[in-house]
Amino acid sequence: MGLEDIIIFTSLGMLILDEVHFPSGDLVENVIGGSGSYGNVAKRLENLFQCRPLWTDRSIAIFGARLFSPKKLSTQIGWRVRKGRDFPLEVLRELETWGMTLSVIQEDDSLSTRGRLQYLDSTFATKSFKYLTPTLNIEPKNLRDTPLLHSRIFHFFVDPVQVVEQTSQLLKLRQSAGLTTRPVIIWEPKAYSCVAENLQAFVKALSVVDVFSPNHIELAGIVEKQIPATLNEKFFEELCAPLTASSGDRATSEGGAIVVRAGDQGCFVKSNSKQRLLPAYHAPADRTATARTSKVVDTTGAGNAFLGAFAIGLSMSSNDMVFAACAGSVGASFAVEQFGVATLSISDAGTELWNGEDVLARLKDYRAKVDLC
């Protein structure tokens, strides 16, 4: 098996076709939840908003992973997609141009998963979402007999009961396929489950995952803690304390790590051996909750992009959680600089550039800024 044939990262986030409603009254349909809008839809967006096609936030982890997987390495990113009988062909064709290992299930008896994303004001900071059709979820059983089952890292977007059940299912499937190496499990919780009555369920779930990554609002809901205007290291320590993981069988010695994503106030890494509060790449100078830098346009999907880039960062660094969080911060930085996906181009030297910048050069710059050279 060549390097380009290895699957490093697979997200079990489902693909959603969104209709996006803007404050102006404009509507764009068939926008991929977590991926993009395509064909004539993309052209309409460019005409209306002078921007690249939109990406919404359900599975934009794929984008974060793709940032750090240039050229032939893009095949190391796996995505299992269930498409209904109404799935637009042009969307599938555009997905294929990303060079990922795309594995498609045709569901002729179902409609594709569709949702309504409503931006509520001109800042694009406030939005609402609801499903318009029954969802075609992706579970470990959908990876049977596919190359994606061999992935080294899996991203789950489920509640604490589901992550325990689905991790067990995944490991049994891999064992049946003769795969004895345990994969790394990155778990992003469903927002609805982040309530105090589920605290013990979250503690239990941490015993089976390598990385638990809520945002600070979700984690505060689980542990019933008020959120101050400015988030410091002591606040994050107290936030994580009730979720100290029990021992368990995991892929890394840092298993049970907590990586709290906090938007423009950065992220906090808490593992067995390391603890670090890192700033956002585009951190506001005065660190207030309302400050924004001129580079930040739309934060939709930034947290999910963080996790995809984080996953590849783990692979690049032999599971160094702080290095991976730096990669995640850089991945998120590219997600917020425009409406939709960053612009991809190729330099004269053949290097992939996103928004005109080399991703690895930005990572090096960020690590220098936080004294991690």
pLDDT of residue 250 exceeding 80, the answer is no
pLDDT at 294: 67
Average pLDDT over residues 306-325: 93
Beta bridge partners of 17: 32, 114
| pLDDT tens, residue by residue, 260-300 | 999 889 999 998 888 999 999 987 655 444 444 568 777 77
How many other CB atoms are there within 10 angstroms of residue 109's CB atom?
7
Give the SS3 label for residue 360.
helix
CA gap 198, 196 in Å, rounded: 5
| Spatial CB neighbours of 47, under 8 Å, sequence gap ≥ 6 | none
Listed in order, strand segments (DSSP E) in the chain are 9-11, 16-21, 27-33, 77-84, 101-107, 114-119, 127-131, 153-158, 184-189, 211-212, 257-261, 267-270, 275-278, 344-346, 352-354
pLDDT score recorded for residue 187: 96
Per-residue tokens: 197: 């009555």
- With 0-12 / 13-18 / 19 or more C-beta atoms within 10 angstroms meaning exposed / middle / buried, residue 33 is buried
Q: Which residue has the higher pLDDT, 112 or 342?
A: 112
Question: How far is 317 from 24, CA to CA, in rounded Å?
Answer: 45
pLDDT tens, residue by residue, 36-45: 222 233 333 3
- Percent of the chain topping pLDDT 90: 53
- Binned at pLDDT 50, 70 and 90, residue 61 comes out as confident
Query: What's the whole-model pTM score?
Result: 0.87
Nearest by Cα to 274 from 228, 308, 240, 224: 240
Question: Residue 353 — left, alpha, or beta (φ > 0 → left; ψ -120 to 50 → alpha)?
Answer: beta
Q: Which of 149, 206, 156, 209 is nearest to 180 (CA)?
A: 149
- For residue 237, is pLDDT > 90? yes
Is residue 73 classed as helix, strand or coil in its secondary structure? helix
Is 223's pLDDT higher than 70? yes
With contact defined as beta carbons under 8 Å apart, do 345 and 356 qualify? yes
pLDDT value for 255? 64
Length of the chain, please? 373
Q: Give the confidence band of 33 by pLDDT, cuts at 50, 70, 90.
A: low
Given a cut of 80, is residue 124 above it in pLDDT?
A: no
pLDDT at residue 49 is higher than 50? no
Rounded average pLDDT over 235-253: 75
pLDDT digits 0-9 by tens, 332-363? 898 877 766 677 888 999 898 888 889 999 99
The two structure tokens encoding residue 142: 């959908």
For residue 340, the model assigns a pLDDT of 64
pLDDT tens digits, one per residue of 139-187: 999 999 999 999 999 999 999 999 999 999 999 999 999 999 999 999 9
Residue 8: pLDDT band with limits 50, 70, 90: very high
Predicted confidence at residue 94, as pLDDT, reads 75
Whether pLDDT at 82 is above 70: yes
- Predicted pLDDT of residue 195: 97
Mean pLDDT in the chain?
Answer: 83
Residue 288 confidence (pLDDT)? 47
pLDDT of residue 284: 63
SS3 192: helix
Mean pLDDT, residues 88-107 taken together: 87
